[in-house]
Amino acid sequence: MKRVRCPKCEGFITFDETQYADGQSLVFVCPDCKKQFGIRIGVSKLKATRKEEKIDEQENRQACGSIVVVENVFGYKQVLPLYEGDNTIGRRNQGTNITTPIETADPSMDRHHCIINVKRNKQGGLVYTLRDGLSNTGTFLMNEILGPKDRARISDGDIITIGATTIILREGEGIE
């Protein structure tokens, strides 16, 4: 089964790709917004969809690091880059302005769930700080809930739970 995303409302439509030949064009009508759009079956010139491609957890090591979203019933494994400054993490939703959106159907994850701040220390190394974004279900670091005004230093491999979703911090090398 394959899924395509509606270009208007960003909802997913699932279909059985084995019923069609390579090079065949398909037209879909989104059941949510009624937008009509087409795709072509076959080998894409773009990267494979995230679900099918091999995920490299160390791919953002040269930058400021990344978070790895563990695959669960709500979504598939994702590796999302972090940048210097505040990285607002939450559920991806059209019209929500956050820097690190997670594609998920997890209803317990807020749109602005938590924030990971990345900054450089005097030696040029990266320092990561986690805080809750006043979420409804809380942010957990290594199974300990953060209070509304708590800030916690985090490092490579730390496990963060937001809603029913688990993410793991992968530090960058701190190279400018």
> How high is the pLDDT of residue 71?
78
- Helix intervals (H) in the chain: none
Per-position b or e across 112-135, b if 16+ CB within 10 A of its CB = ebbbbbbeeeeeeebebebbbbeb
Backbone angles phi, psi at 95, to 5 degrees: 90, -5
Residue holding tokens 């030696």? Answer: 123
Per-residue pLDDT tens over the stretch 118-159 = 999 998 889 999 999 889 999 999 999 998 889 999 999 999
59 located within any domain: no
Question: Which range (26-35, 39-48, 76-85) has the least confidence?
Answer: 39-48
pLDDT, residue 168, reads 95
Q: Do 80 and 163 have their domain in common?
A: yes
Where residue 91 sits, what CATH number does that domain have? 2.60.200.20
Q: Are residues 103 and 34 in the same domain?
A: no
The answer on 162 and 82 residing in a single domain is: yes
Q: 70 and 31, same structural domain?
A: no
Specify if 145 maps to a domain. yes
How far apart are alpha carbons 65 and 58 in whole angstroms?
8
Cβ pair 43, 18 in contact under 8 A: no
Q: Is the residue at 52 inside a domain? A: no
Is the same domain home to 138 and 93?
Answer: yes
pLDDT of residue 56: 54
Residue at 58 is within a domain: no
Q: Same domain, yes or no, for 18 and 93?
A: no
Specify whether 20 is located in the same domain as 98.
no
Tell me whether residue 45 is in a domain: no
Containing structural domain, residue 11: 2-40
The CA distance from 88 to 120, in Å, is 18
Number of domains in the chain: 2
d(Cα 66, Cα 57) in Å, to the nearest integer?
A: 8
75: closest CA among 31, 12, 142?
A: 12
pLDDT at position 161 over 70: yes
The 10 Å Cβ neighbour count of residue 41 is 16
Q: How many CB atoms lie within 10 A of CB 37?
A: 15
Same domain, 86 and 29: no
- CA 103/CA 24 separation, integer angstroms: 28
State whether 149 and 103 are in the same domain. Answer: yes
When pLDDT is averaged across residues 51-68 and rounded to a whole number, the result is 63
How many CA atoms does the CB half-sphere of 174 hold within 13 Å? 13
- 96 with 165, same domain: the answer is yes
**Quick one: 116 and 35 in the same domain?**
no
Which of the 8 DSSP states describes residue 42?
S
**pLDDT, position 116:** 96
